[in-house]
Amino acid sequence: MAPHKGHVHILGICGTFMGGIALLAKAAGYKVTGSDANVYPPMSTQLREQGIELSEGYEVGHLQPAPDWVVVGNALSRGNPAVEYMLAQGLPYTSGPQWLAEHLLQDRWVLAVAGTHGKTTTSSMLAWILDYAGLDPGFLVGGVPLDFGLSARAGQAPFFVVEADEYDTAFFDKRSKFVHYRPRTAILNNLEFDHADIFDDLTAIQRQFHHLVRTVPGNGLIVRPECDEALDQTLSMGCWTPTETFGEQPALWHAELLQADSSRFRVFCGSEDYGVVDWIHGGEHNRNNALAALAAARHAGVPGKLGVEALCRFRGVRRRMELRGEVNGVRVYDDFAHHPTAIATTLAGLRAARPEARIVAVLEPRSNTMRMGVHRDQLAPSLKTADQVILYTPPGLDWNLDDVAAGLGGRGAVFRDIDEIVAKVASKAGPGDCILVMSNGGFGGIHQRLLDALEIRP
């Protein structure tokens, strides 16, 4: 057996991004171990299947003998025992994004997908188009594309697709993750205020996006929506790269809608007709994600018609409007939506796909921004498409959801117990209903609990 390239120990290894780093490092020939406070499936299973040794907690013994690099996740902070030991012993350390850039992205054509919404889905679409075209791309996305079954793979040079997150890099590097990636092709999907635990205002986020724009070469490409005021302002700070737009005409990349729910649409680049996307997905947001992915793929050499053909076979991403099951005509969906805009577009897509259905939205406001109540005034309007809204108050929520429920009239209710939600929803659900569960966490396994309750009810 060939000697490994070095030993990498990852602190916070079970997060989707850091777990992806682990898989990539292992595939590249490094010995990989890791620690996390919560070692649990599916990431723990995925890592162990690849021969990666996992340790529960952050004991200093996990760093003995000393690894060649400690890669520190952005959930780790000063005061953590492993972090303090690492610093005191002078161990070489870096962040996940920086390690990725220095060890795996050198000499790769990086295609980065940034934006407040749609990063995971658009990254997955782009990776799938490149793969369908026979280019065997590497990728690292913040979810699990159903077409690949893994959140990351090394692939073959030159192409590498990365979900380019604006969240901060590490406790010692407060730049956004995406400034490390140096993309040749960059999708800027949209831009709104989010991550209030990191950024004071939208201007602070725009500054980080401008830093990303500064790294895209003049012979690269920036793909951006036709209409997005925040991105207009960002690019007005300086842009040295050609741009292509997507969205409604006069966007370069636009669509002719053939089905109201966007499950069928014809793709145009200027006046050139690239054919019809006919797929299992829906919603205006997914249509725009598709246009952006097609534009980026064409920049990498994939003909537009081949890209459209690939999207017709695109299966989607876990936890993005994923149908978890159907019992006696009642469908239970799982979606990652945790921002008012994402909530509204997800509900609009479901309503367009199933116009006659009764939609029950079950929401856990779990993200740091949601917990702080930053979007509290936009929450009720974002849920207006649902026929009934169940709002769960998770432990540690900093504000009261009663005002949101009141803003929904008789359609909203607040619960503090998941078992009560399951009992309530299951007892009232009938054939044709759609139960849409929205959270960026596990939500206590509520999806399966709902399906089980539907099975056993009288």
Query: If DSSP codes are grouped into helix, strand and coil, which group holds residue 318?
Result: coil
For residue 128, what is the domain's CATH number? 3.40.1190.10
Number of domains in the chain: 3
Asked if residue 1 has pLDDT above 50, the reply is no
185-223 pLDDT tens trace? 999 998 987 766 778 888 999 999 999 999 999 999 999
Q: Are strands 359-363 and 330-335 parallel, antiparallel or unpaired?
A: unpaired
Structural domain boundaries, residue 19: 7-95
Say if residue 201 is in the same domain as residue 334.
no
Say if residue 69 is in the same domain as residue 11.
yes
- Note the Cα 392 to chain centre separation in Å: 22
Mean pLDDT rounded to a whole number for the chain: 91
For residue 433, what is the domain's CATH number? 3.90.190.20
pLDDT, position 38: 80
pTM (two decimals) = 0.86
Closest CA to 74 of 16, 7, 116: 16
Which of residues 113 and 193 earns the better pLDDT score? 113
Tell me which of 264, 284, 311 is where a domain ends: 311
pLDDT, position 397: 83
Query: If DSSP codes are grouped into helix, strand and coil, which group holds residue 114?
Result: strand
Say if residue 299 is in the same domain as residue 364.
no
Tell me which of 74, 95, 116 is where a domain ends: 95
Q: Are strands 69-72 and 7-11 parallel, antiparallel or unpaired?
A: parallel
The answer to whether residue 410 is domain-embedded is: yes
DSSP per-residue codes, 202-264: HHHHHHHHHHHHHTS-TTSEEEEES--HHHHHHHHT---S-EEEESSTTSSEEEEESSTTSSE
The answer to whether residue 222 is domain-embedded is: yes
Say if residue 157 is in the same domain as residue 297.
yes
318-332 pLDDT tens trace? 878 888 999 989 999
Say if residue 128 is in the same domain as residue 90.
no
How far apart CA 185 and CA 110 sit, in angstroms, is 6
Averaged pLDDT for residues 345-368 = 87
Q: Which amino acid is at 174?
A: K
The pLDDT-based confidence of 458 (bands split at 50, 70, 90) is low
269-311 pLDDT tens trace? 999 999 999 999 988 889 999 999 999 999 999 999 999 999 9
Give the Å distances, CA to CA, from 257 to 264, 268, 277, 365, 399. Answer: 7, 11, 10, 33, 41
How far apart CA 86 and CA 55 sit, in angstroms, is 16
The pLDDT-based confidence of 27 (bands split at 50, 70, 90) is very high
Cβ–Cβ under 8 Å, residues 328 and 431:
yes
